[in-house]
Amino acid sequence: MEEGSVFRSVLAILQWWGFNVTVIIMNKWIFQKLDFKFPLSVSCVHFICSSIGAYIVIKVLKLKPLIVVEAEDRWRRIFPMSFVFCINIVLGNVSLRYIPVSFMQTIKSFTPATTVVLQWLVWRKYFEWRIWASLVPIVGGILLTSVTELSFNMFGFCAALFGCLATSTKTILAESLLHGYKFDSINTVYYMAPFATMILGIPALLLEGNGIMSWFESHPSPWSALIIIFSSGVLAFCLNFSIFYVIHSTTAVTFNVAGNLKVAVAVLVSWLIFRNPISYMNAVGCGITLVGCTFYGYVRHMLSQQTPGTPRTPRTPRNKMELLPLVNNDKLEGKV
């Protein structure tokens, strides 16, 4: 690999890590330090900022070509995906309100397991034994982390776990609903964020409107706090743009490894800032989970190199774009 290419890949990964970790930390700061305990409204702000940002990038600056989607397909295909996407982001923010970043990020690493199980149970898809074996350390690590978590909260834990299911459902549905459309992260946001804003706007107003008014009246410096909240929305959109950059600057294997190391960076930075208690066994469980995720990605990559006609071999991602049919676990993993 050429020196310039290596430098570009490293730079892409570092800026991706920077945006991702910053968005996660800011969201946690908003809930914990600013006492703005309204995850629906925070998610809605992120969707609005992402809608505006995607429009500017595609329509005004023309940095990305628009992938044209017929009006009928927008409602028949994009809207259902947007609904699941909305649930995924909201559950991530809800979990951040109740549990530490370290615990939340570890649970999100459970997504490969929920994806495989859903495809096997609902879609009757066959997987080789090596795929199932690669899930063992992920499940074991999650169990160890959950049992030894010192700041365990059942509501936050369930929100994060169901968030994994929503992420898996989004990924699986993308294969069928978005068949024929090769979406990148920016076009994904361009079409889905407005729908997500429409879906979430009224519930956020009805369920959290009065609480926000009370918070605004009682908070010592509400305007500066609102600047932080909207800044997190802008950074959430920048995160999606950084995902587009890193996907086009790295290989599938590098992206997988960097993604798992990103979780470790987020855990470390969050501990340095919030100082949430982490036991030795809890850290071990987190490490096992991340190693398991890396091993799972490696197994998927190895299987993808097999001859296409191999009997009873499931179709696995052949390149980095197929690894993320809808990029934004993360991220809009924080996210939007």
pLDDT tens, per residue, the chain with 336 residues: 466 678 888 888 899 999 999 999 999 999 999 999 999 999 999 999 999 999 999 999 998 899 998 888 899 889 998 999 899 999 999 999 999 998 999 999 999 999 899 889 888 888 889 899 989 999 999 999 999 998 999 999 999 999 999 988 888 887 777 777 777 878 888 999 999 999 999 999 999 999 999 999 999 999 999 999 999 999 999 987 787 778 777 776 777 778 888 888 998 999 999 988 888 999 999 999 999 998 898 888 888 887 555 444 444 444 444 444 333 444 444 444
Domain assignment of residue 330, yes or no: no
What is the domain count for the chain? Answer: 1
Domain assignment of residue 198, yes or no: yes
Domain assignment of residue 161, yes or no: yes
Domain of residue 37 covers 1-208+221-305
Domain assignment of residue 254, yes or no: yes
Looking at residue 92, its pLDDT comes to 93
Domain assignment of residue 310, yes or no: no
Looking at residue 224, its pLDDT comes to 95
The model's pTM is 0.84
Looking at residue 212, its pLDDT comes to 96
Return the axis-axis angle of helices 222-247 and 252-274, rounded to nearest 10°.
160
The separation between the first and the last C-alpha atoms of the chain, rounded to the nearest angstrom, is 33
Domain assignment of residue 314, yes or no: no
Domain assignment of residue 258, yes or no: yes
Domain assignment of residue 251, yes or no: yes
Whether the bond between 62 and the residue before it is cis, its omega within 30 degrees of 0, is no
